[in-house]
Structure formats: C-alpha cells, structure tokens
C-alpha cells in the first residue's frame, strides 16, 4: 500500500481513475474512496471493509454543480447545502443519476451526497474527475479512523494507497439528513449539531427511529458498531480495577480525557483516537475494558453518545 502525502494528489487521483482504492482524509474521518461510477471499484470497498453489501455509501463531491449532476436537490436541500456545505453534513436525495453504480446506492431510489470541508479532499475529488464513493476507512464494525496510521493498522494490504493529511479536525462522521420528504429527518447524528439544522429550518428535526437491525436501509443501523476489542461501559463515575477511564470534564482522574474543559467539539475530535489508543493499551496491559464518563445529551453530545452506545452494544 502506498503512503501518499498532499503533494501526491495526482498519483492518488490516477489510482482512483483506474479503479483502485485510496483512503483519504476529510474533516470528519478518513474515507475509503473509489470512483462512484465504477461498479468493480466500489465492490472492492465492500470487500476491503468486509461490509454487508446492503449498506449504501456516501458520494463525495467537490462542488455544488457536481452534486446537481448526481441527484435531485429539493429547495430545502439547497438551503441546507447553502448553509452547511462544504461541511460535515450528508444529504440523502432522490433520483440518483444512472451513471452511479448500483452498489453505491444499494439499489435504493436515493443517494447520499456530501461536500467535505477539507480542501485536500475536494482537491482529490476534483483531480479524480469523478464523485468518490467513500465509507469510513475501517473494517466493518471497527472504530472509524481519524489518522492515517489508524487506516494503515486496519487496512494495510487490502487497499492501494492512503493519502495522509494528518489528524481530522471534527472527528465524528457527518450528520445525515433525509431530504426525500418535505419534512427533513435525521438518519444519523454527526459532526454538524442538529440544533443548527433545526434553527435554519425553523422546526425541531427529529432523529429517525432505528429500523429493524437485521435489515438496515438507513445509516448506522447495525447495533454493534465502532467496537473496540475490549468492553465499553458508559456513564461511569470511575473505573473498576480492570478498566481504563475515558474522562470528560475536570471532575475525574481519567487515563485519557475527551475534553478537560467539557468542550463537546474537542471531545468529538478526540473520541475515536482516544478509543483506539485505550483499546491498544488495554490489550498490551491486560485490562478488560474502557469506562467512559457521562457526556451531556446536547449539541455534538448526541452524536458522541450515539457512537459510544454502539461501541458498548452487545457484540
Ligand atoms: O463523515 C462521513 O460521513 C464519513 C466520511 C468518509 O465522509 N463517511 C461515512 O460513511 O461515515 P459510511 O459509509 O460509514 O456511512 C454512511 C451511512 C451508512 O450508514 C449508510 O447506510 C447511509 O450513510 N446511507 C448512504 N446512502 C443512503 C441512502 N440513500 N439512504 C439512507 N441512508 C444512506
Ligand atoms: Mg463507518
């Protein structure tokens, strides 16, 4: 696997154009990209991740024009795009363009679009000249990567290259909004706080109820997800003997702290890297689990708690 840097965008784009897989940074997490128009390349994503094939992928675009060419953006979708793109927001839109491989949309009559905020990501998409289908660059069910070395540890030998852009800044996957109905609903809380979406739309955006976990047709419906190897226990005041404590705020003596200042944006940015680090450390030192301090259920705390509940879910 090639370890590329920002100067190697042309090389990364060439790999993508010829049907290869390139992991690339965005402001949320690293994505595992392939040309969304190349069904065989997209198939390789599912293979590399070991991902259930019913789970559709997000298409990453470099511009609004590119988004328009891929689906029908409603008036409300355009308002959202205008306010929050580029950024950590994904819009599920109707009428996917016929060039998009069926594997990308999983045969649904809609497609998920996102314009990342990280310029390196948009430059790569523009250089490739095609929208990039990209789930998070981790094996299915594992913690999402926020650094190139996370990708390398998880996917080395299974993909063609990683484009290293340093650690991601938001650290949580995008907020996914369903725009196929007049009333917008949230399919996955994420890096854009839902309060901001509600404020723009003038009503409280609801989080869609999880579907039957055996037939996930919308995001992150698999119960156990983002799983470290050791057990995870939530809303902990302190760690047991065999646990590490992942703290939040100043009140606790933690092994690692998501944010000493109880800042939810800082906590989101640290979440996956801290889970990775404590998981590895637990393995080396024979600890059995990670206890996590309570996180307030507001702003980005909604998405942080969503990921933590999945990490703690029975496997
Ligand atoms: O921040 C992110 O969103 C990252 C970076 C790489 O952009 N990507 C990401 O992708 O988290 P992924 O594949 O791990 O999550 C995409 C979610 C999936 O849970 C999938 O079910 C949902 O989006 N999704 C994709 N297309 C959909 C559609 N047409 N309708 C409903 N849900 C869809
Ligand atoms: Mg993922």
CA distance 228 to 275: 7
Sheet of 161-163, strand order: 2-4, 161-163, 22-24, 31-35, 132-133, 58-60, 110-114, 89-94, 175-178, 185-188, 206-207
- The number of residues in the chain equals 315
Tens digit of each residue's pLDDT (9 = 90 or more) over 66-94: 999 999 999 999 999 999 999 999 999 99
Assess whether the C-beta atom of 131 lies below 6 angstroms from ligand 1.
Answer: no
Between the CA of 10 and the centroid of ligand 1 the distance, in Å, is 26
Between the CA of 136 and the centroid of ligand 1 the distance, in Å, is 8
Assess whether the C-beta atom of 218 lies below 6 angstroms from ligand 1.
Answer: yes
Smallest CA-to-CA distance from 87 within 240, 226, 245, 197 is with 197
DSSP string over the chain:
-EEE-GGGHHHHHHHHHTT--EEE--SSS-EEEEETT-HHHHHHHHHHHT--TTS--EEE-SSHHHHHTTSPPPHHHHHHHHHH-SSSEEEEEES--TTS-HHHHTT-SEEEEE--S-HHHHHHHHHHTS-EE--BSS-TTSPPPSSHHHHHHHHTTTSSEEE---S-SS-SPPEEEE-SSSS-EEEE--SS-HHHHHHHHTSPPEEPPP--TTS--STT-SSS-S--SSEEE-S-SS--TTEEEEE-SSSS--SEES-TT--HHHHHHHHHHHHHHHHHHHHHHT--EEEE----SSTTHHHHHHHHHHHHS--
What pLDDT score does 224 carry? Answer: 62
Assess whether the C-beta atom of 273 lies below 6 angstroms from ligand 1.
Answer: no
C-beta separation of 56 from 104 below 8 A: yes
C-beta separation of 305 from 248 below 8 A: no
CA distance 232 to 309: 9
Assess whether the C-beta atom of 26 lies below 6 angstroms from ligand 1.
Answer: yes
Name the closest ligand to CA 216.
1
Between the CA of 29 and the centroid of ligand 2 the distance, in Å, is 9
Structure tokens at 172: 């949580």
- Residue 275: C-alpha distances to residues 3, 94, 130, 181, 248 (Å): 24, 36, 34, 36, 13
| Of 34, 62, 97, 112, best ligand 1 pocket probe by most atoms within 8 Å of the beta carbon | 112
Assess whether the C-beta atom of 27 lies below 6 angstroms from ligand 1.
Answer: no
Assess whether the C-beta atom of 136 lies below 6 angstroms from ligand 1.
Answer: yes
Q: Whose CA is nearest to atom 14 of ligand 1?
A: 135
Q: Are strands 31-35 and 243-247 parallel, antiparallel or unpaired?
A: unpaired
Assess whether the C-beta atom of 262 lies below 6 angstroms from ligand 1.
Answer: no
CA distance 142 to 90: 21
What pLDDT score does 52 carry? Answer: 67
Name the closest ligand to CA 225.
2
Mean pLDDT by 10 residues, the chain (315 residues): 98 98 98 95 89 82 98 98 98 96 86 98 98 95 94 96 98 97 95 98 90 46 71 94 94 89 93 93 92 95 92 86
What pLDDT score does 223 carry? Answer: 57
What pLDDT score does 107 carry? Answer: 75
Determine the atom of ligand 1 nearest the C-alpha atom of 219: 19
CA distance 48 to 147: 18
| Of 95, 173, 208, best ligand 1 pocket probe by most atoms within 8 Å of the beta carbon | 173
Assess whether the C-beta atom of 61 lies below 6 angstroms from ligand 1.
Answer: no
Between the CA of 113 and the centroid of ligand 1 the distance, in Å, is 9
Assess whether the C-beta atom of 28 lies below 6 angstroms from ligand 1.
Answer: yes
């Amino acid at each position: 696997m090639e370890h590329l840097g920002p100067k190697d965008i042309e090389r990364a784009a060439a790999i993508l154009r010829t049907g290869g897989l390139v992991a690339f940074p965005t402001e949320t997490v690293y994505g595992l990209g392939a040309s969304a128009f190349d069904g065989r390349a997209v198939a390789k994503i599912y293979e590399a991740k070991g991902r259930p094939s019913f789970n559709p992928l997000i298409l990453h675009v470099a511009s609004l024009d590119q988004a328009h060419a891929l689906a029908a953006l409603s008036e409300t979708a355009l308002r959202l795009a205008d306010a929050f793109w580029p950024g950590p927001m994904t819009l599920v839109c109707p009428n996917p363009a016929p060039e998009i491989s069926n594997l990308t949309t999983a045969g649904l009559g809609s497609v998920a679009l996102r314009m990342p905020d990280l310029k390196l990501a948009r430059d790569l998409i523009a250089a490739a000249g095609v929208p990039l289908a990209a789930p998070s660059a981790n094996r299915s069910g594992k913690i999402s990567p926020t650094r190139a070395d996370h990708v390398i540890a998880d996917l080395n030998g299974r993909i063609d290259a990683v484009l290293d852009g340093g650690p991601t800044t938001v650290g949580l996957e995008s907020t996914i909004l369903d725009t196929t109905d007049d009333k917008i609903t949230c399919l996955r809380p994420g890096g854009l706080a839902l309060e901001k979406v509600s404020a723009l739309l003038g009503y409280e955006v609801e989080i869609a109820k999880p579907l039957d976990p055996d037939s996930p047709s919308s995001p992150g419906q698999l119960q156990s997800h983002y799983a470290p190897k050791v057990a995870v226990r939530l809303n902990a005041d302190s760690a047991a003997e065999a646990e590490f404590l992942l703290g939040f705020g100043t009140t606790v003596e933690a092994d690692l702290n998501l944010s000493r200042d109880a800042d939810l944006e800082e906590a989101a940015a640290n979440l996956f890297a801290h889970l990775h680090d404590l998981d590895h450390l637990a393995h080396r030192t024979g600890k059995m689990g990670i206890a996590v301090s309570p996180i307030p259920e507001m702003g980005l705390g909604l998405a942080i708690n969503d990921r933590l509940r999945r990490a703690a879910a029975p496997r």
